[in-house]
Chains A and B, each alone.
Chain A
Amino acid sequence: MAGPMVRAEAVHKRYGLLEVLKGITLEVAPREVMCLLGPSGSGKSTFLRCINHLERINSGRLYVDGTLVGYEERGGRLHELPEREVCRRRTEIGMVFQRFNLFPHMTALENAVAAPVLVKKEPRAVVTERARKLLDRVGLSGKIDAYPNQLSGGQQQRVAIARALAMEPKLMLFDEPTSALDPELVGEVLDVMRQLAEEGMTMIVVTHEIGFAREVGDTLVFMDEGVVVEAGAPREVIANPREERTKAFLSKVL
């Protein structure tokens, strides 16, 4: 039996005096799609950033695929990992940002090829072949040589997904991937994510797209002010929220 892909145990995160995560405990199984909902400022982005150690947590434990994130436990103490090891573990986790963050000086293909060649030292020809297939899969085979500023928001976000997939990650983190898009472009990005979910990718998706959460999500977690308020099967939570805060939030986004 494989263990959970992500396990958070009482994760706390502070910025100075501001406590942003106040004890997050949850598990994400392999092949599971977890949708994370919550008002702005509730700590959703911070939690995602802790998972690939872009932020370090102040207390609690965070595991990805059974391995402690950012530290090594030896002799009952936590030891910081060297940069090399932190980076190696990040290669196994893909991340997609609200504002795409494509590299503007590289074409779509170069965006997808750069990291596997540079970081994983894979042969360029092999990576290029894989990147072409991925761009084709997200419906951009005709835009391979376009620079990001020549692409629409929806196209840019699909390149960003292909770029993350080119690293062959075992976990994908999406931080409001459609929030910066014009309404008519949201669908094309959600379709790519839906397809990825069907292929069995483990995903944590921060989103305000309730429809996506209901149809694609296996679990829905509602966060507010740094704590998990409610979690369960998406249909259940959306139809019959138990907590007042969940009800109030859902009534605003539905």
Chain B
Amino acid sequence: MTINEREGHHPEEIRAVPLRHPGRWVATAVVLVLVAMLVHDMVTNPRFGWGIVGQYFLSSPILHGVGVTLELTVAAMALGIALGVALAIMRLSPNPILSGASWLYIWFFRGTPVFVQILFWYAISALQPTVGLGVPFGPEFVHALSNNLVTSFIAALLGLGLNEGAYYAEIVRAGILSVDHGQVEAAQSLGMRRAQLMRKIVLPQAMRVIVPPTGNETISMLKNTSLAVAAVVGELLYQTQNIIARTYETVPLYIMASLWYLALTTVLTIGQYYVERHYARGTSYALALTPFQRVRRNLSTLRRIPFATTSAEGR
């Protein structure tokens, strides 16, 4: 008897009686009832004021606020990333003064609340409305009178960006440390200097470790820009509160602001995926799923759990 003949005994696909999961049915029922109650309340309770949400969602002060929120996010992240890379490289430097200074910076800015930092810079900008550039302790070369609006934006930018630099430094440092030391040796043996091998060899490889938390940090930053309200920056939350002060429609307007934040973070999540793909070159790691694939996969598993018998069609 050959192996082929033996294979012929059970050619049909297995269709076993699926195992029943009564616990899952109960849990599913509870969740569905809760969701139904929530949706019912959201639709019928007039306090949600969906009409008002729609009315202000695309109004010009809100759109302006969204613009300022985005500007502040981009500027503070840029500052944070530049600072973070510099601090991480300093921290790993053989020079004890440089690594000590970096350690001190991170210790200080991680150890104090961002909100307090923003208030602090705002207080400074209010106290000292001129900005000077010159020799430390010596004469100033450039002397500028900053108007009130610019200083409050810069106060928020400094508060958010300097704080971000401290966190980002640790992310970059972890990325640099994840690169095999053999890479550094190979680059050195080819005559590359420290700065060159950092830029061309180490950082590009560290990006694989750095990019995913950068996405998280950017999303965090986008939401944390709402703290800039304390420095009187005209971002999304400030504009929302302005409208609330006029109309007293508190709940609908906070819902509207939340929907804006949700929409913006969703866009960032999608962007993160494509950046990660770019830095996966030359690695054998499976590519991360796109957000769409993730949603589809979650839906299909959801469908599969209560109706286990149709699992074959679930994908």
> A118 CB to closest chain B CB, in angstroms?
6
> B247 CB to closest chain A CB, in angstroms?
54
Asked if A149 and B189 make an inter-chain contact with CB atoms under 8 angstroms apart, the answer reads no
B283 at the interface (CB under 8 A from A): yes
> A102 CB to closest chain B CB, in angstroms?
8
Q: Which of A84, A106, A120, A148 contacts B193 (CB 8 A)?
A: A84
Asked if A101 and B190 make an inter-chain contact with CB atoms under 8 angstroms apart, the answer reads no
Asked if B182 and A87 make an inter-chain contact with CB atoms under 8 angstroms apart, the answer reads no
B220 at the interface (CB under 8 A from A): no
Residue of A nearest to B204 (CB): A105
Q: Mark B184-223, 1 if CB is under 8 A from A, else 0.
A: 0111111111101000110011000000000000000000
* CA A114 to CA B186, docked complex, whole Å: 12
A101-B191 CB under 8 A given contacts A149-B282, A149-B284: no
B47 at the interface (CB under 8 A from A): no
A91-B282 CB under 8 A given contacts A103-B186, A103-B201: no
A147-B196 CB under 8 A given contacts A101-B185, A103-B201, A104-B205: no
Asked if A52 and B189 make an inter-chain contact with CB atoms under 8 angstroms apart, the answer reads yes
CB contacts (< 8 Å) of A90 on chain B: these are: 188-191
**B contact face: mostly helix, strand, loop, or mixed:** helix
Residue of A nearest to B192 (CB): A119
* CA A105 to CA B189, docked complex, whole Å: 18
Asked if A97 and B182 make an inter-chain contact with CB atoms under 8 angstroms apart, the answer reads yes
Point out which of B189, B205, B282 has the most chain A C-beta atoms below 10 A from its C-beta: B189
Q: Mark A84-104, 1 if CB is under 8 A from B, else 0.
A: 100110110111010101111
Q: Which of B183, B185, B191 contacts A119 (CB 8 A)?
A: B191
Asked if A148 and B282 make an inter-chain contact with CB atoms under 8 angstroms apart, the answer reads yes
Asked if A105 and B284 make an inter-chain contact with CB atoms under 8 angstroms apart, the answer reads no
A8 at the interface (CB under 8 A from B): no
> A56 CB to closest chain B CB, in angstroms?
13
Asked if A163 and B190 make an inter-chain contact with CB atoms under 8 angstroms apart, the answer reads yes
CB contacts (< 8 Å) of B191 on chain A: these are: 87-88, 90-91, 115, 119-120, 167
> A81 CB to closest chain B CB, in angstroms?
13
A83-B183 CB under 8 A given contacts A54-B188, A104-B283, A148-B282: no
Q: Which of A54, A87, A149 contacts B283 (CB 8 A)?
A: A149
Asked if A97 and B186 make an inter-chain contact with CB atoms under 8 angstroms apart, the answer reads yes
> B190 CB to closest chain A CB, in angstroms?
4
Asked if B192 and A115 make an inter-chain contact with CB atoms under 8 angstroms apart, the answer reads yes
Q: Which of A54, A119, A167 contacts B196 (CB 8 A)?
A: A119
Asked if B183 and A101 make an inter-chain contact with CB atoms under 8 angstroms apart, the answer reads yes
> B95 CB to closest chain A CB, in angstroms?
13
Asked if B190 and A91 make an inter-chain contact with CB atoms under 8 angstroms apart, the answer reads yes
Residue of A nearest to B180 (CB): A101
* CA A95 to CA B192, docked complex, whole Å: 13
Interface hits, A46-93 → B, CB 8 Å: 52, 54, 83-84, 87-88, 90-91, 93
A164 at the interface (CB under 8 A from B): yes
Q: Which of A87, A95, A105, A118 contacts B282 (CB 8 A)?
A: A105
CB contacts (< 8 Å) of A147 on chain B: these are: 281-282
* CA A115 to CA B188, docked complex, whole Å: 10
* CA A155 to CA B174, docked complex, whole Å: 31
Q: Which of B182, B282, B284 contacts A101 (CB 8 A)?
A: B182
CB contacts (< 8 Å) of A83 on chain B: these are: 193-194
CB contacts (< 8 Å) of A104 on chain B: these are: 205, 282-283
Asked if B282 and A93 make an inter-chain contact with CB atoms under 8 angstroms apart, the answer reads no
CB contacts (< 8 Å) of A84 on chain B: these are: 193
Residue of A nearest to B208 (CB): A105
Interface hits, B279-302 → A, CB 8 Å: 281-284
Point out which of B190, B192, B205 has the most chain A C-beta atoms below 10 A from its C-beta: B190
Residue contacts A-B, CB under 8 angstroms, 22 given: A52-B189, A54-B188, A87-B192, A88-B191, A90-B189, A91-B190, A97-B182, A97-B185, A101-B182, A101-B185, A103-B186, A104-B283, A105-B204, A114-B190, A114-B200, A118-B196, A119-B191, A119-B193, A120-B191, A148-B282, A160-B186, A164-B190
- Could you list 7 further interchain pairs (A-B, Cβ under 8 angstroms) beyond the known A91-B190, A97-B186, A105-B282? A83-B194, A88-B191, A94-B189, A105-B205, A114-B200, A149-B283, A167-B191
